[in-house]
Amino acid sequence: MRPAQMYVPGDIGEVIDHLNHMLLGAPKFRDKTGCFPYRRLDYDFQQLTGGFNNIRQALGEERFRELMRMSDRMRALFEADPDDKTGETLQGCKIIHEMEDILRLVLRKR
């Protein structure tokens, strides 16, 4: 089965929605339904990076770079704790909440 074209969030609200999706799927990001077997950690982070690139202008360079650093750190934490046993998954989830706060601040300033 060939995967559908990758969905990439197109605005700040969609990036927030994707972060919520990631929060629910952490740390493995596997599709439990079997409908999307290609979805994995790499896939979700590619979508997130694409979403950040789509909203880069609205974020500004400083926020964009900070969110990308946070994304890299979050990914490392999820990879280090694939079975959610060492507490690093919780730290990664906290980063998701911090990212959401940054994005909501950008939305309020518009």
**Domain ranges in the chain?**
12-109
| Whether residue 105 has pLDDT greater than 70 | yes
C-alpha 52/C-alpha 101 separation (Å) is: 15
C-alpha 86/C-alpha 97 separation (Å) is: 19
Please state whether 31 falls in left (phi above 0), alpha (psi between -120 and 50) or beta: beta
Task: Give 5's pLDDT tier (boundaries 50, 70, 90).
Answer: confident
Return the half-sphere exposure (C-beta side, CA atoms, 13 A cut-off) of residue 68.
Answer: 16
Task: Give 1's pLDDT tier (boundaries 50, 70, 90).
Answer: very low
Q: Average pLDDT of 29-40?
A: 75
| Whether residue 3 has pLDDT greater than 60 | no
pTM above the 0.85 mark?
A: yes
Q: Average pLDDT of 20-31?
A: 88
